[in-house]
Amino acid sequence: MTANIKHAKEKTAEIAQDLQLAGAELHLTNTALERQLPESAKQGDVGRALEQNAAIENKVQEAAEELAEVKDLLEEEAAERTRLEKKIDRMEGEPGG
């Protein structure tokens, strides 16, 4: 695996973990607000803020899932690159190669 792919994979994993943590924290905050605020307080700007927070929570969770997919693709690409490099090495080691 090249250093660039390895670094990208590691960085992607770190960011995915940070996003998952942020999503979990948003979820806890939103749940606490929903439970603690009386219905009368969930009107107007506060109601819109609660809706916006829920939407942001969903976006953060989706981004974390997409980043996990990118990490998987990087791992597949690294494995394919390693396989091709070994194949080239074998071909170069053959007579006439």
pLDDT at position 44 is 94
- Residue 5: which pLDDT band, with cuts at 50, 70 and 90? confident
Extract the tokens encoding 9. 């994979």
Nearest of 33, 34, 10, 30 to residue 22 by alpha carbon: 30
Extract the tokens encoding 67. 């980043």
Residues 6+ apart with CB under 8 A from 78: 1, 2, 5, 6, 9
Average pLDDT over residues 4-29: 90
pLDDT digits (tens, 9 = 90+) for 37-78: 999 999 999 999 999 999 999 999 999 889 989 989 988 988
- Residue 6: which pLDDT band, with cuts at 50, 70 and 90? confident
Q: How many domains does the chain have?
A: 1
Range of the domain at 65: 3-93
- As to burial, measured by CB atoms within 10 angstroms (0-12 exposed, 13-18 middle, 19+ buried), residue 60 is buried
